[in-house]
Amino acid sequence: MCRLAALTSAKYFSPIENVIALETMKEGHDGSGMGLILKDLGGDFKDLKSYPILSGICSKDGISALDSYMDKLGFRLKHEWSPKIKPVKGINKRDHYFARAYDYPDEYKGRSLEERESLLLNTRVALRKMGEADESIIVFAFYPDIIALKEVGDPMQLSEFFGLDNSSLKAKIIFAQGRQNTNYAINLYACHPFFIQGYGTMTNGENTAFIPIKEFLQGRGMPGYIGYNSDSEVFAHILHYSCKHLGYPLTYYKDIITPLKSEEIDTRKDSEVARLLKMSLRPLCIDGPNCVIGFTPDGTTFMVQDAKKLRPGIVGGNKGKFGLMSEECGLDSAVPKRDKSLDVFPMKYDMVIIEPDAKGVKVWNQLQGWTTIIS
């Protein structure tokens, strides 16, 4: 089972904090990979928030194909960050790791956010397809203020490999996953966290309803709903589908993936809506063991459990810095000085939501509504 370490803070911090938290939970991952997503970036990218950042890995051939494709579309490179790779035994170095901020093509300068997002997604999908066969281009994200970094190896060794301890990379929200690979082949595209158009999730479970969910999402006709190298990638897409495509408030994500029983729905104020959503979104119900941690474009982070609460998950911290972890020891490492009595272990009906800039923690209960925990 993977280990998850997410931190959200009012101040910029380094991803090494997440990696150290993962290290304390080490028995839970097998070192078969690590994924990092940084949101609300500091450091070099602090002043580049409006420019989309392409995060990925390329071979020598791949990088030139990527350059010529981006040129052809009219994207202009504004800034590039590459890790200072320090060779570490056991980690196979690839040719190029990068996070590149681009300026939009001229014809998109005055366009709406919607059109720009669509361009970024289509570009990301096209690049992915270009390099899929020979792994010459691997793209994890192409979106403003987001950097994704993934590689095969132990999280601690990878942070040394990428030089994260001395890196200028900083952000206010950082998600990290220490991977326990249950697939036969290690595929980087199967590495969490997953990201699509401002929405990201990671999970420490296995999704038994993967096929029906995948088939439902693929049938929506959205260009980004592809891939699915991991059975958990669908969680990010369900979040995107419910919040962005359907425009539902975040709390309905919980109602969609773990719907209430009919009798329970009767007790809700919005029972008419909840009943309709349960029926219409029936294929998106998850039964499998999953703790899902995610974020939305405005910087809200959250944690939800499957209806059986079959996976560990804890949220805690102080105003200004909160952690969402799969293990308590990870949270102790990241936010040691906190009131532990306020820690939240979300159960069957709960969705723990942390406001942007780590202002406070609220719990949404499917039956009871809002409860403020830490503010």
Partner 1 sequence: MEPASRLDNNHKLTLKDFPYVVRWRDDRCTRCGKCTAVCPMLSIEPSVVVKRSVHSDGPIPNPKSARQTVTVIKQSTDIDRYCTGCATCSLVCPNEAIEPEFNPQHKLAFHKNRGGHPYRRGGRRNDPLVSTLDRLKFTRISMLTDPALDAGRHEFRIRTYLGRILPPEELPIKLVNGNLKLDKKSDTFMPPVREIYPIMIGSMSIGALSPNMWEGLAMGITYLNEVEGMPVVMCSGEGGMPARLLRSRFLKYFIPQIASGYFGWDEIVRALPHMIEDPCAIEIKYGQGAKPGDGGLLMAHKVLKLISEIRGVPMGVDLPSPPTHQTKYSIEEAVAKMIQSMSMAWGFRVPVYPKISATQTSKAVLNNLVRNPFAAALSLDGEDGGTGAAYDVSMNSMGHPIASNLRDCYLDLVKQGKQNEIPLIASGGVGKKGNLAANAASLFMLGASAVSIGKYIMQAAAECLGDEQNRCNVCNIGRCPRGITTQDPKLYRRLDPDKVAERVVEVFKSVDIELKKILAPMGRSTELPIGMSDGLSADDPAIAERLKINYAC
Report the residue number, 118 or 218, with the smaller CB distance to partner 1: 218
Residue 57 or 281: the one with the smaller Cβ distance to partner 1 is 281
Distances (CA, A) of 13 to 9, 88, 163, 276, 329: 8, 24, 15, 42, 20
Q: What are the structure tokens assigned to 170, written together? A: 């900083």
Distance CA(271)–CA(275), nearest Å, equals 6
Maximum Cα interatomic distance, the chain, rounded to a whole number of Å: 60
CB of 122 or CB of 251, closer to partner 1? 251
Nearer to partner 1, 167 or 204 (CB): 204
CB of 168 to partner 1, least distance (A): 37
* CB-nearer residue toward partner 1: 189 or 248: 248
Residues that bind partner 1 (CB under 8 A): 1, 180, 182, 205-206, 208-212, 215-216, 218-221, 246-249, 252, 258-259, 261-262, 270, 272-273, 276-277, 279-283, 285, 287-289, 307-308, 310
Q: How far is the CB of 281 from partner 1 (least distance, A)?
A: 6
Cβ–Cβ under 8 Å, residues 275 and 267? no
What is the β-pairing status of strands 314-318 and 34-41? unpaired
Cβ distance 33 to 153 under 8 Å? yes
The nearest distance, CB 122 to partner 1, in angstroms, is: 20
**Nearest-approach distance from CB 276 to partner 1, in angstroms:** 5
**Helix 233-240 and helix 210-218, axial crossing angle in degrees, nearest 10:** 40
Smallest separation, CB 81 to partner 1 (Å): 35
From residue 368, how far is each of 103, 242, 285, 307, 363 by CA, in Å?
A: 46, 22, 21, 16, 10
Q: DSSP character for 89?
A: T
Least distance from C-beta 164 to partner 1, angstroms? 28
Kindly state the smallest distance separating residue 285's Cβ from partner 1, in Å. Answer: 4
- Cβ proximity to partner 1: between 221 and 336 the closer is 221
Q: How far is the CB of 212 from partner 1 (least distance, A)?
A: 4
Cβ proximity of 38 and 168 under 8 Å: no
Residues 6 or more apart whose CB falls under 8 angstroms from that of 284 comprise 213, 216, 238, 241, 256, 257
Separation between Cα atoms, residue 335 and residue 267, nearest integer Å: 37
Give the start-end residues of each E strand in 59-115. Answer: 76-81, 96-103
Our CB check for partner 1 shows the closer of 76 and 220 to be 220
Q: For residue 166, how many other CB atoms are within 10 A of its CB?
A: 10
Q: Give the CA count within 13 Å in the CB-facing half-sphere of 335.
A: 27
Nearer to partner 1 by Cβ, of 122 and 271: the residue is 271
